[in-house]
Structure 1
Amino acid sequence: MPFTKVLVASLKNSTEDVLLQVLVIDDNKTINSPGLSFHSINSLENTHFFKEIKNKYAHTDNPNHFRWALKPIFINYLLENGFSKVLYIDPDQYFVNDSSFLFDELDTNNILLTPHWPDINPIGNEDSLFAVLRGGLFNAGFIGSNIKGKAAMEWWAEMCHYKMERRKELGLFDDQKYLDILPVQFPNVQIIKHQGCNLASWNIDACKREMINGELRINKTYKPVFIHFSEDTIVNILNQNDKLLQPFLDEYIAALKKENIDLLNSVNHKDKKKDTSFYYAAKHKLRLRTRIKRFLFKLAEKI
């Protein structure tokens, strides 16, 4: 729960009237606290596909599959119980500027998606291109839906029930790769073009961070809105590969410390060689080769 408290506190920095709806999977006690409203897993009993997903994933060796498959279920549960617009946010997100425009987008759009924004230059950085083709165009750590998006969420839940696997030969990547289909199959799916949304290690090249007049800007235009503090994002910041996000990481570390979470300690003891994150592996596997190719590509451009 500490990460959830830090998340809602970051939202309140720009929007005072925030009540974050939280699905609790491993504990049926639902004690509300300021800015948070907890829902037990039993609340989802009557939501379509919940029972099927629970039967398939609740007792497997990988608890992540159950949690990930419940995203569209929880979204639809909220839409069926008084909410006309829902933004799903992973608990390791951290908001640093006003995000109210995202809810406004759901006035005219049914679904919101945020791209990974990888480097798609096949000569300069083919690993990044291959990573997004295998892992998905959009990040499943953020998705928005209004009441008219329920059919899309129900389809996503059905797909998660069908298969929750990482099999590149089948074009599968857990719950995430299915999102690529939404803009084609469902109406009014909006792809968020604001490149300050979902900043992370996977968009370090395409969403260039710069200091302009003392303020951080993304590609000279966008203010950072929220940062996805995945393990790889944190490691990249600590390794000075993404140093302009360091002040925000410092804020995040301090906020978690107030909740008795020592984030640095957990990262420092992490065996980076054993990181199984898809994007970490794709980004770091052939770093030297990629640097050489970039150098040759830039050289060729000058000839």
Structure 2
Amino acid sequence: MESFNMTDLNWNFCPAKNNILCALLYISISFLTAVTVCGNLLVIISIIYFKQLHTPTNYLILSLAVADLLIGALIFPFNMAFSVKTCMYQSTLKCLIQKAFDFIVSSSSILNLCCISIDRYYAVCHPLIYKTKLTDHVSTMMGLGSWAVSVLFGICIFLMDYYYDLCRIGCFFMSGIVSILAFYVPAIILLCVYSKILLVALKQVSSLQNATSQSGPVGSKKERKATKTMAIVMGLFLICWLPIFISYPFYTLSNIVIDLIEPFNWFALSNSMLNPFIYAFFYHWFRSAFRMMISRKIFRGDYVNTKLH
């Protein structure tokens, strides 16, 4: 097994024969990295600093933002240095580390999305018991559990790849099982939970539209906005991740699929840039927090207990 050496970095993310294309790709990915890091950093600082944002839902959003921040700050540059396509055919230590770390952070992001979907399910479908079921302690344990499971999956992937020559067929099937548990199962959970939320929200909209009270139209507008938000969340997640989910198991069968793995991987990781907009930018209190940070107002006084509007 080859030892890791920073001098051995192989920049095969972009073919050197097309310098203009390479430059455009690196500029685009650098922009993607900056937006991902800054967006998730704003979310993290907001939740930690402002007491108003210390809620069970926001603790889960904080855990998701940390995962997405790591994707932007570490995985994006790492994948620029080590091509995913190239590492499919190499068992060097640097490739194994890249794959394991990529797996840990990416699966953590997806598992955190699942935790948020469960939180939203109780908030929308069972509002009367929501505060007793989803407490600060429960949401914290869910976030930490997502990271613990992801680290376990990453260790399994690393060990199976490291000792592949010893277990071959067994490692192949085990790797497939881990991938299913880390990606396909959470995707199915997300689809089922958000589908249930949408059905409940639509029923509530129908009930409010048929109501004769004055509060009906206001409630209907809020439910339509919640329904639209949930549709955007589920739609963007599936759009970003399904191509890599579907193609990765078949990369050994077709050269066309192999060539698509690299762009599909970047397309999936770009979901980490979108998450702050989906889960935070839609809420007015986060927007108020962002304005205070961007204007550096929080550095000129104590605004921890500020009421965000």
Q: TM-score scaled by structure 1?
A: 0.28
Q: TM-score scaled by structure 2?
A: 0.28
In terms of fraction of residues, the more helix-rich structure is: 2
User: Larger radius of gyration, structure 1 or 2?
Assistant: 2
Which structure has more relative contact order (CA 8 Å, sep 6+)? It is 2
In terms of fraction of residues, the more strand-rich structure is: 1
